[in-house]
Amino acid sequence: MAKEKVKPKQFVTDSNISVKPFYSKSKNSTESPGEYPFTRGIHSGMYRDRLWTMRQYSGFGDAVQSNKRYKFMLDSGQTGLSMAFDLPTQIGHDPDSAHAEGEVGKVGVSIASIKDMQTAFNGINLGKVSTSMTINATASTLLAYYIAVGKSQGISSKELRGTTQNDILKEYVARNTYIYPPQPSMRIIGDMIGYCAKNVPQWYPISISGYHMREAGATAVQEIAFTIANGIEYIQTCIDRGLKIDDFAPRLSFFFCCTIEFFEEIAKFRIARKVYAKILKERFHAKNPKSLHLRFHTQTSGESLTAQQPDNNIVRVAVQAMAAVLGGTQSLHTNSKDEALALPSQEAAKIALRTQQIIGYESGITKTVDPMAGSYYIESLCDEIEEQVWDYLKKIDKMGGALKAIEKGFFQSEIRQNAYRLKKEVDDNERTLVGVNKFSEESEKKHDLLRIDDSLGKKQERAIKQIRKSRDNKKTEYALSKMQKAAETDENLMPFILDSVLAYATTGEISNTFREVFGEYRPKEVF
């Protein structure tokens, strides 16, 4: 019996007007969604076929608390996990280190060993959920924990899906959670990309991030230009290590900010896809169409949120989220209204998720692909942004690439100048912030905020000491010793990191071992 053909889903407006898959200026239009250079989206059907991944960034306190939040968000309809880590985890210090004092569990979850990672994902099947981890200097260690937890659940590394941010270049520019100097940091990233290409093929080993540069003050143009320039640097690093472009490029991803400058943000995303596709095709000669896809996660702008009248932030986030969707994002985090005051409360996190769900299921903007195409304003913005992005990329190439430009302080200087301009406009009342320099209120109501218990640090200290006491320390020391020797050669470090993790080495011990070989990065003072 012949298989019955499934009719494509029909979309109509509330007035029963039929909605086409996409609209063009003419029947002979050369640019269609899902086709090079992907200005109109990397998939032909986009959200008509499947909505973006709703991936709310969360993590705080210890692994037990974060596990409860992850389960709550999944039960509320979230479709992917996104882990936030505390500063000690991000910069490779254990909870009992003097460097960790007062910071354990404060801006994310404390993950000091494989045991913490097992607890964070207790009752969550890693074969059925994709996880994004905002981790950079210690990304290799956290990925090793994740692989090990998957293994303990009976899930092969080839089945794991998710992303490690792992973008160290922007750390030197805007975020500062680096450990090692640039060259060894790039070596570790190259090792991760090469390892994942063979052993964790569904994983995105790097999410090249413009978000933090934008939050530091970059313009939309600078965000795209500097992020793609960093991407070029990572790609060249992998090629120099002997990898072929089509073996790893399909698993590169990006991470962008979405501010409230609505139309410019939509144009920015469209042009980012176009410029990146041209670079991969014309500069790196990629043949696989998937290598040309700029896949990106978007987070609404945390910097734009205000402590004054925080309920206003719900509206800000909704506007930003809609711009990200109209721009064609693959996944999205919507900030919570109280993030200018504290880590998100459970109720605020749910409202942020509901914002995405209302856009996806009620607004109607997902019924057709690239609905903003053809707008005179959008198209004009696209042309102007593209021209300025290419100008920046040419200038960066003349400097010797992104790493050289960063070492010279070029990215930092450009961002700093724009940040000053924006701040001055607010101070001079030339830029309105509702509830701050206009429509302000004398008395503000109190809000229920999430508080992290200060005793958590001591609890995590006791836990890490217990791990060191109960493990086979000879086995741990042997694994760390082998890892150190490998770091002194050109061997891929990921297998050795994984062995150390399985021997219950801690985040701090692994990072300190690399510190002995690579040293620590100290930025030059700029006056």
Q: Give the domain CATH number at 201.
A: 3.20.20.240
Asked if the model's pLDDT at residue 275 lies above 50, the reply is yes
Residue 496 covered by a domain: no
Query: CA dist 81 to 16, 52, 179, 365, 487, Å?
Result: 36, 13, 26, 25, 32
Q: Is residue 503 part of a domain?
A: no
Structure tokens at 385: 């942004």
Report the C-alpha gap between 138 and 111 in whole angstroms.
11
- Rounded (5°) CA angle 254-256-262: 140
- The values of phi and psi at residue 95, to 5°, are -60, -25
Q: Which two tokens stand for residue 522?
A: 């100290």
User: What's the average model confidence in pLDDT over 86-97?
Assistant: 97
Residue 6 reports pLDDT greater than 50: no
Task: State the average pLDDT for the chain.
Answer: 94
Question: Per-residue pLDDT tens for 448-485?
Answer: 777 777 788 899 999 999 999 999 999 999 999 999 99
- Adjacent-strand bridge partners of 206: 252
The average pLDDT across 242-270 equals: 97
Q: How far apart are CA 309 and CA 227, in angstroms?
A: 33
User: Is position 128 within any domain?
Assistant: yes
Phi, psi dihedral angles at 49 (to 5 degrees): -90, -40
Bridge-partner residues for 11, per DSSP? 19
pLDDT score of 348: 94
Share of the chain above pLDDT 90, in %: 90
Residue 3 is predicted with a pLDDT of: 42
Cα separation, 208 vs 165, whole angstroms:
7
Question: Is residue 93 very low, low, confident or very high in pLDDT (cuts 50, 70, 90)?
Answer: very high
For position 1, what pLDDT does the model report?
A: 40
In terms of residue numbers, what domain contains 263? 50-427
d(C-alpha 346, C-alpha 467), whole Å: 31
pLDDT above 50 for 28: yes
The model's confidence at residue 31, banded by pLDDT at 50, 70 and 90, is confident
Q: Say which DSSP state 429 is in.
A: T
Domain assignment present for residue 119? The answer is: yes
Flag whether 198 is in a domain. Answer: yes
**Three-class SS of 100-168:** HCCCCCCCCECCCCHHHHHHHCCCCCCCCCEEEECCCCCHHHHHHHHHHHHHHCCCCHHHCEEEECCCC
State how far the alpha carbon of 291 is from the alpha carbons of 46, 252, 348, 413, in Å. Answer: 18, 8, 38, 32
Q: How far is CA 2 from CA 5, 9, 157, 453, 505, in A?
A: 9, 21, 38, 63, 58
How many whole angstroms separate alpha carbon 136 and alpha carbon 408?
Answer: 22
Question: What's the pLDDT band for 30 if we cut at 50, 70, 90?
Answer: low
Residues whose CB falls within 8 Å of the CB of residue 423, separated by 6 or more in sequence, listed in order: none
Section 239-266 average pLDDT? 96
For residue range 69-78, what is the model confidence (pLDDT) as tens digits? 999 999 999 9
For the segment 30-44, the average pLDDT, to the nearest whole number, is 93
Please give the average per-residue pLDDT across 243-269, as a whole number. Answer: 97
Helices (H), 372-506: 376-399, 402-407, 410-427, 456-470, 473-487, 494-502
Q: Which residues contact 422 (CB under 8 A, 6 or more apart)?
A: 217, 431
State how many domains the chain has.
1
CB 136 within 8 A of CB 82: no
In a domain, 27, yes or no: no
Question: How many angstroms separate the most distant Cα atoms in the chain?
Answer: 78
Rounded alpha-carbon distances, angstroms, from residue 316 to 92, 311, 424: 35, 9, 21
pTM exceeding the 0.95 threshold for the entire prediction: no
Tokens 């086709």 correspond to what residue?
Answer: 35
Q: Give the per-residue pLDDT at 446.
A: 74
Long-range Cβ contacts of 447-454 (<8 Å, 24+ apart): 447/310, 447/338, 447/341, 448/345, 448/347, 449/338, 449/341, 449/342, 449/345, 450/60, 450/338, 450/342, 450/343, 450/344, 450/345, 450/346, 451/342, 452/60, 452/61, 452/105, 452/106, 452/343, 453/61
The verdict on residue 104 lying in a domain is yes
Q: How confident is the model at residue 442, as a pLDDT?
A: 79
Length of the chain: 527
What pLDDT was estimated at residue 453? 75
- Rg (the chain; Cα; Å): 23
Question: Which residue do the tokens 């793609």 mark?
Answer: 228
Q: Which of 245, 241, 251 is nearest to 281 (CA)?
A: 245
Peptide bond into 37 cis (omega under 30): yes
Q: According to the model, what pLDDT value does residue 8 have?
A: 65
| Residue 370 placed within a domain | yes
Phi and psi of 426, rounded to 5°? -70, -45
First to last CA, the chain: 78
